């Protein structure tokens, strides 16, 4: 464990108890919720991985239920559940698909389905439900929302913390509607993902220390 991560663990232990257990506080304060935003392919999933694997967070996604619905839809179309899961979660997500109208990539459908759920149906049908599920199964652990776009105002109103993930020099794939929305999200903190895994782990530890200091000062 490097010095930044060790220092963070000591600080969290002093403030909240053992950071590897995250037992719910007796004062009934809700556990921390961090929402990650930023361009596609900047490393939001990698940041969430570090929070889950090294700091005991539970992971959720505003569109998790929608993704599973999309898997069922793509399985219905393709007749292959393995291919359907790759179209939603894997290597086929950004590849033109012969199964879809016009040969578009699955992301074309996912973005529009996500907009329908998040913007038309509303956040109570997406992130609000996913947070409720995460709290039910997380047993008091803090929660990371892997990607926040349309849901950012609601999450902040619930006391959530918005972290913008940036990768130096990264411009992302060709723009889509949600890119403009996420660019306008007001973040509370920024995290630069500019190196290897060790650098990212150190950056995440520093981020959590900064958040902890702000929460203690509030």
- Whether 132 and 208 map to the same domain: the answer is yes
What is the tens place of the pLDDT at every residue in 186-215? 899 999 998 899 999 999 999 999 999 988
If one counts the domains in the chain, the total is 2
What pTM value is reported for the model? 0.75
Same domain, 136 and 41: yes
| Residue 154 and residue 199 in one domain | yes
Of 82, 99, 119, the residue at which a domain comes to its end is: 119
Q: Are 35 and 133 found together in one domain?
A: yes
Domain identity same for 57 and 158: yes
Shared domain check, 141 and 57: yes
Q: Looking at the structure, tell me whether residues 89 and 43 fall in a common domain.
A: no
Q: pLDDT, tens digit, for every residue of 29-72? A: 678 999 999 988 899 999 999 999 999 999 999 899 999 999 99
Q: Are residues 41 and 138 in the same domain?
A: yes
CATH number for the domain spanning 37: value is: 3.40.50.300
Both 56 and 76 in a single domain?
Answer: no
For residue 41, what are the domain limits?
A: 3-22+31-62+127-217
213 and 131 within one domain: yes
Q: Are residues 140 and 192 in the same domain?
A: yes
Average pLDDT, the chain: 84
- Three-class SS of the chain: CCHHHHHHHHHHHHHHCCCCCCCCCCCCCCCCEEEEECCCCCCHHHHHHHHHHHHCCEEECCCHHHHHHHHHHHHHHHCCHHHHHHHHHCCCCCCCCCCCHHHCCHHHHHHHHHHHHHHHHCHHHCHHHHHHHHHHHHCCCCEEECCCCCCHHHHHHCCCEEEEEECCCCCCCCCCHHHHHHHCCCCCEEEECCCCHHHHHHHHHHHHHHHHHHHHHC
Residues 46 and 132 in one domain: yes
Choice between 185 and 15, residue whose per-residue pLDDT is larger: 185
């Amino acid at each position: 464990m490097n010095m930044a991560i060790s220092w963070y663990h000591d600080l969290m232990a002093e403030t909240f108890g053992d950071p590897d257990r995250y037992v719910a506080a007796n004062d009934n304060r809700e556990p921390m919720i961090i929402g990650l935003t930023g361009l596609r392919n900047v490393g939001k999933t990698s940041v969430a991985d570090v929070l889950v694997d090294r700091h005991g967070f539970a992971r959720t996604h505003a569109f998790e239920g929608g993704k599973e619905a999309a898997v069922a839809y793509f399985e219905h179309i393709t007749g292959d559940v393995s291919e359907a899961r790759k179209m939603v979660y894997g290597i086929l997500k950004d590849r033109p698909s012969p199964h879809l109208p016009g040969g578009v990539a699955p992301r074309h459908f996912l973005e529009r389905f996500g907009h329908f759920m998040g913007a038309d149906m509303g956040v109570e049908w997406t992130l609000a439900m996913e947070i409720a599920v995460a709290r039910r199964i997380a047993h008091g652990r803090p929660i990371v929302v892997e990607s926040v776009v349309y849901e950012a105002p609601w999450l902040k109103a619930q006391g959530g913390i918005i972290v913008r993930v940036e990768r130096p020099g990264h411009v992302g794939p060709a723009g889509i509607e949600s890119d403009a929305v996420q660019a306008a999200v007001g973040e509370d903190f920024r995290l630069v993902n500019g190196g290897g895994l060790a650098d990212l782990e150190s950056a995440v530890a520093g981020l959590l220390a900064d958040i902890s200091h702000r929460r203690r000062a509030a």
